[in-house]
Each structure stands twice: as C-alpha cells, then as structure tokens.
Chains A and B, each alone.
Chain A
Amino acid sequence: DAGVIQSPRHEVTEMGQEVTLRCKPISGHNSLFWYRQTMMRGLELLIYFNNNVPIDDSGMPEDRFSAKMPNASFSTLKIQPSEPRDSAVYFCASSPGLAFDEQYFGPGTRLTVT
C-alpha cells in the first residue's frame, strides 16, 4: 500500500510568491496533520484535521498560512505571501484514529524561499 504522499518534494520560490504544498493521506485514515521542521525549532505541529474538519490550528504561525482538506484523500497547505523564514521541511502525517496515536509521516516537502 502507498504511504502518505506529498508533493512537490522540493520547492524553491522567491519571497512574496504563493506556495501550495499537497498531501494525500493513507486511504481510510481519519486524521491528517501538518508539521514544520527546522534546525532551530525542531518539529512543530501546525494544524490537524479529523474527518476533514480542522480541529486545532493554533500552531499555524501567521495568517499567511492556511490549510484545507476538501475531501478525505487530499489536503493543501498554502503560504501567501512566502518569506525566507518560512524555509523548512513541511511534513504531512495521517493516522487511522481521531487522536495523535500511530501517525504515519510522508517524505516531506523541502521549501526554500529566497
């Protein structure tokens, strides 16, 4: 079975541009999580969904960040406008239940904003 799929794997963009990161969770999983990983701050939870509904977005750093989950098999994380300090690896994870147990992570998207 395919794991969590993220695209693109690498994204390089200029400051001020809009960036959209995509995630396809594991089929049948009920929860989806977006994380950001940097050397300085480690792995941080940005937002998570249960049954496509956003539950907690308190980790989203600013209004420039938004996330959607229009259906059970797709989610996006959008940054508009992007800034150099947004450079990081962004991970999507999914889990079968409605809690933080048993999360399966995707390979990540490495974002570089110049």
Chain B
Amino acid sequence: TQLLEQSPQFLSIQEGENLTVYCNSSSVFSSLQWYRQEPGEGPVLLVTVVTGGEVKKLKRLTFQFGDARKDSSLHITAAQPGDTGLYLCAGEEPRGQNFVFGPGTRLSVLP
C-alpha cells in the first residue's frame, strides 16, 4: 500500500490545455514536495509546501497543500511540450521519521 497516492497515473494533453494532478494520503505530513523527472535524469525539486492551505506559484505552475496537510495538488496553466515528464510528490512524516515518494503522474504534452 502506497503511503502517497497520485492521480492520474498517466495524462496526455494538447499544448495550451490546463491540467491538475493530485497527491493524496491518509497520513499527515509536515511538508510535501513536488519534483519533475525527465528520462535518464534525477528528479528536480519544484517546490516545498509546509503550511496547511498554503498556495505557491512558480510561473505557470500552482501548488496547493491541503488544510489538513494530507494532500496536495499541482495545476499547470497553458501546458507546453517542455512540461512533459514524471511529476512526483514526496512527503516528510512528522518528526522526520520517514520520507516517501508517490508513484508519480506521467505527463505528456503534445505540440
């Protein structure tokens, strides 16, 4: 059983469309991170959210941490082919006893 669930597992959209991917858990996390990974490379950190209800924006990407600190979402506006990749959420359990990754959402943005 995954501590962190991500949905959808796969997503294929046209350039210019908007999309939202989700990261959910039944556990509370002290922080959640979002990474993007491209083939043959390591994950690259996009953002860390710490406070329940927190919203962070990174250009066309908007990240939200749920009020109860159990879930998070990533919204991309006007997706571009360069957004293609594997989007991973990762969480640190309270008191730092564990750090886990979700299985990821594989996004493909078609030109």
Q: B-contacting residues of A (Cβ < 8 Å)?
A: 4, 42-45, 91, 93, 99-108
Q: How far does the alpha carbon of A4 sit from the alpha carbon of B100 in the complex, in Å?
A: 21
Contact at A101–B42, with CB atoms within 8 Å? no
Q: Which of A4, A42, A106, A108 is B103 in contact with, Cβ under 8 Å?
A: A42
| Contact indicator A103/B45 (Cβ below 8 Å) | yes
Q: Please give the residue numbers on chain B whose beta carbons come within 8 Å of chain A beta carbons, in ascending order.
A: 2, 31, 33, 40-45, 48, 88, 90, 92, 96, 98-104
Q: Is the pair A101, B31 in contact by a Cβ cutoff of 8 Å?
A: yes
Assembly CA distance A104 to B42 (angstroms) = 8
Q: Which residues of A contact B99 (CB under 8 A)?
A: 45, 100
For B48, list chain A residues within 8 Å (CB).
101-102
CB-defined contacts of A101 to chain B, threshold 8 Å:
31, 33, 48
How far, in whole Å, are A100 and B108 apart by their CA atoms in the complex? 28
A42's nearest neighbour on chain B, judged by CB, is B103
- Please pick, from B42, B88, B98, B103, the residue contacting A107 in the complex, using a CB distance under 8 A: B42
| C-alpha gap A99/B104 in the complex (Å) | 22
